[in-house]
């Protein structure tokens, strides 16, 4: 019995992590790949490295030592951590993994108690274990939708600030102060990362890691290219805002 429970837990954890990562992947792969190549080229040209990108990132996945070491060993731990960051949840990755295990066991034991058979019980365990991931993904989706709705106004504010003679970094701070969360909160992090010494290019790349949206990628690529080639940034931002709307 204990061996069966252990096998159910292991298989459920692996399946939930694998299926969850498929849902985490974004749509429009070809467009995103092109934008990612543009960003990578800009970062290489600017010399942003891994050490620069790691500023303000917390590597703690769990307060439990063995669980922390296990999550650091597997890539799924980092992906679940990123999912929680994108949903703006304060929960530790280890807590999410424990919730997956508990829900999986509950589903398995309930079906086993009703004598529905071992296969049905294992299926219920998998579905139960996937439930916490679905909840987090739902919260992330709603947050991304709010970000999309607010983002054009944020770009317009940045464009007006630049036309008024303010620096780009000052415009970022204005967005953080005047636009509500989630846009204001994310741009506040961009501003704080720059104050800690992180280059703008790396701070924008970190923003893309937290908010996986095509509209934001268009904005970041345009800003990075403009900073290399020059041009009227305020006019460019106005066109981006119109395109997004």
Q: What is the pLDDT of residue 116?
A: 81
Q: What is the pLDDT of residue 224?
A: 94
Average pLDDT score, the chain: 81
* pLDDT of 75 over the 80 cut: no
Q: What is the pLDDT of residue 65?
A: 64
Over residues 110-155, the pLDDT tens digits come to: 998 888 888 888 899 999 999 999 999 999 999 999 999 999 999 9
* pLDDT of 68 over the 70 cut: no
Q: What is the pLDDT of residue 230?
A: 86
Q: What is the pLDDT of residue 59?
A: 55
Q: What is the C-alpha R_g of the chain?
A: 21
Q: What is the DSSP string of 123-147?
A: HHHHHHHHHHHHHHHHHHHHHHHHH
Quote the crossing angle between the two packed helices 29-46 and 200-210, to the nearest 10°. 150
Over residues 22-66, the pLDDT tens digits come to: 444 444 444 445 455 554 454 444 444 444 444 545 556 666 666
pTM equals 0.76
Query: What residue ranges define each of the domains in the chain, with the CATH number in brackets?
Result: 2-27+57-141 (no CATH), 143-244 (1.20.81)
Helix H segments across 164-232? 168-178, 183-195, 200-210, 214-229
* pLDDT of 216 over the 80 cut: yes
Q: What is the pLDDT of residue 2?
A: 47
């Amino acid at each position: 019995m204990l061996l069966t429970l252990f096998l159910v837990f292991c298989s459920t954890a692996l399946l939930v992590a694998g299926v969850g990562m498929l849902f985490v992947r974004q749509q429009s792969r070809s467009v995103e790949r092109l934008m990612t190549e543009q960003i990578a080229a800009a970062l290489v040209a600017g010399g942003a490295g891994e050490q620069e990108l790691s500023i303000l990132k917390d590597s703690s996945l769990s307060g439990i030592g063995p669980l922390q070491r296990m999550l650091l060993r597997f890539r799924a731990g980092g992906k679940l951590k990123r999912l929680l960051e994108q949903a703006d949840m304060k929960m530790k990755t280890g807590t999410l993994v424990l919730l997956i295990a508990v829900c999986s066991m509950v589903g398995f034991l309930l079906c086993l108690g009703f004598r529905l058979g071992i296969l049905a019980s294992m299926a219920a365990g998998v579905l139960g274990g996937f439930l916490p991931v679905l909840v987090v993904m739902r919260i992330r989706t709603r947050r991304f939708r709010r970000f999309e709705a607010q983002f054009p106004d944020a770009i317009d504010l940045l464009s007006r600030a630049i036309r008024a003679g303010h620096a780009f970094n000052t415009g970022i701070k204005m967005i953080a102060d005047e636009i509500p969360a989630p846009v204001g909160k994310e741009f506040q992090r961009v501003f704080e990362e720059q104050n800690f010494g992180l280059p703008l290019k790396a701070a924008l790349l970190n923003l893309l890691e937290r908010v996986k949206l095509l509209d934001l990628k268009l904005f970041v690529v345009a800003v990075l290219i403009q900073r290399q080639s020059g041009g009227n940034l305020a006019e460019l931002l106005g066109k981006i805002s119109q395109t997004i709307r």
